[in-house]
Amino acid sequence: DAKTTQPPSMDCAEGRAANLPCNHSTISGNEYVYWYRQIHSQGPQYIIHGLKNNETNEMASLIITEDRKSSTLILPHATLRDTAVYYCIVRLNNNAGNMLTFGGGTRLMVKP
Amino acid sequence: DGGITQSPKYLFRKEGQNVTLSCEQNLNHDAMYWYRQDPGQGLRLIYYSQIVNDFQKGDIAEGYSVSREKKESFPLTVTSAQKNPTAFYLCASSEAGGPRNEQFFGPGTRLTVL
């Protein structure tokens, strides 16, 4: 699986959009971009994933650049409960193990 | 309610003792995983199992053992051979395939070796 690079920490004001970047310059054509988040002392939670098109669900939007070397997770209206570590993961979307390789992630602090 | 459970939430053991962490899921998932997390770090894969009676080593399997006798259960034993066992242990499960290939995580067990 390709490696990812994320800033170690970010701050965001409550109610504003949080834009979390991720670089994955060695991504291959059949690898997907996944985002998980982990609230303190809990298990990680799936947020969203995509291949090359932008994706949106009830939690967030995922913007993937045309060359697929980077992506941005957008939380449109951050709340205090969105304070967590956000992990960007690149992996194949097949039946071969489905393992996730977690990097250090970005610690997002949403401030009132 | 469907989900994945781990017990206990906090566990203490004396150095040199083996200890088994429980992981149960009622999601009918074929695949299950064990991860270890150290403070301020990401998760690292210990073992995973894609089907009953089969499992594979992850990145840091030394000092750990698992079994998968039932689809719902994937217990992890931390043996005395694990040199630094104090950590937060997370269990997860997923469908073998499917459009999201999402892993569902349990609440974790925090193990402290005294």
Which of A90-99, B17-26, B69-78 has the lowest average pLDDT? Answer: A90-99
Res. A87: pLDDT tops 90 = yes
Per-residue model confidence (pLDDT) at position A106: 97
Per-residue model confidence (pLDDT) at position B95: 84
Res. A91: pLDDT tops 70 = yes
Name the residue in chain A with its Cα closest to that of B59. Answer: A101
On whether any CB of chain A is under 8 Å from the CB of B101, the answer is: yes
Calculate mean pLDDT across residues B79-102. 84
Calculate mean pLDDT across residues B78-92. 93
Calculate mean pLDDT across residues A46-71. 95
Res. B40: pLDDT tops 60 = yes
B2 and B102 Cβ atoms separated by less than 8 Å: no
Top-confidence range, A11-15, A96-100, B6-10, B54-58: A11-15
How is A1-40 classified by DSSP, letter by letter? ----B--SEEEEETTS-EEEEEE-TT--TTEEEEEEEE-T
Residue from B29, B103, B104, B111 whose CB has the most chain A CBs within 10 Å, to mutate: B103
Res. A95: pLDDT tops 90 = no
Backbone angles phi, psi at B68, to 5 degrees: -140, 70
- Report the C-alpha gap between B48 and B57 in whole angstroms: 7
Residue A101 structure tokens = 């390789």
Per-residue model confidence (pLDDT) at position A100: 80
Res. A82: pLDDT tops 70 = yes
Cβ contact (<8 Å) for A104 and B41?
yes
* pLDDT classification of B108: cutoffs 50, 70, 90: very high
* pLDDT classification of A96: cutoffs 50, 70, 90: low
Per-residue model confidence (pLDDT) at position B1: 57
Q: Which helix (H) or strand (E) holds A65?
A: none
Which of A54-58, B50-54, B98-102 has the lowest average pLDDT? Answer: B98-102
B76 and B66 Cβ atoms separated by less than 8 Å: yes
On whether any CB of chain A is under 8 Å from the CB of B27, the answer is: no
Per-residue model confidence (pLDDT) at position A1: 57
Per-residue model confidence (pLDDT) at position B81: 86
Per-residue model confidence (pLDDT) at position A89: 92
Cβ contact (<8 Å) for B48 and A49?
no
Residue A98 structure tokens = 């489905």
Which of A53 and A98 is assigned the larger pLDDT? Answer: A53
Q: Which amino acid is at B30?
A: D
Which of B65 and A30 is assigned the larger pLDDT? Answer: B65
A59 and A78 Cβ atoms separated by less than 8 Å: no
How far is residue A42 from each of residues A37, A84, A98, measured CA to CA in Å? 10, 10, 21
